[in-house]
Amino acid sequence: MPNLDRFGTRCHAAGAGRPFRYRTFIKTFLKDVAADSGLASNVYFSDTQYFDSRGNIFYNSQWGGVVVMTSPFPTNGCVDPATNDADPTINVLSHEHNEMMTDPDVSTGWYDNQGYENGDKCAWLFGTSSGPSGGKFNQTINTHHYYLQMEWSNQGSHCVQTGL
């Protein structure tokens, strides 16, 4: 019987990390988001319509480098066998990263009347995609292709993939 964590995902030996290619893909994504800062051609630009107590939010992401953790989290090294590549991780990363941009201070950030943040309103909605089966994408950021959920446009009252 495989060792399962509380979410029902299969776990491998403690301390075992993600493959190098997986980590590289995630690092490339974050670098790409930073390289395209300010461009209206991807889902991050939708954040610029929001504001906090200091004014409008800017799409001004910066790449700060990598921190290598010597004690991985979680320590049991769990892997979700249904999603063994970086695409689902990048999608959730984009969701949370966009929310961090629109609510850097949880007391002044943007929430709708039900308490949802901009990413929550479009969670798991991907819109129009391109590419072959097994290689679908809906975003091109710094020339690389990604499959990311849409983000909420408060100005347009709908989920968007680019611009406002």
In this prediction the pTM is 0.76
pLDDT tens string 112-144: 899 899 999 999 999 999 998 878 999 999 999
Q: Are 34 and 141 in contact (CB under 8 A)?
A: no
Q: Are 159 and 152 in contact (CB under 8 A)?
A: yes
The three-class DSSP label of residue 47 is: helix
Q: Are 35 and 61 in contact (CB under 8 A)?
A: no
pLDDT tens string 19-65: 677 788 889 999 999 999 989 999 989 888 887 677 777 788 888 88
Q: Are 89 and 18 in contact (CB under 8 A)?
A: no
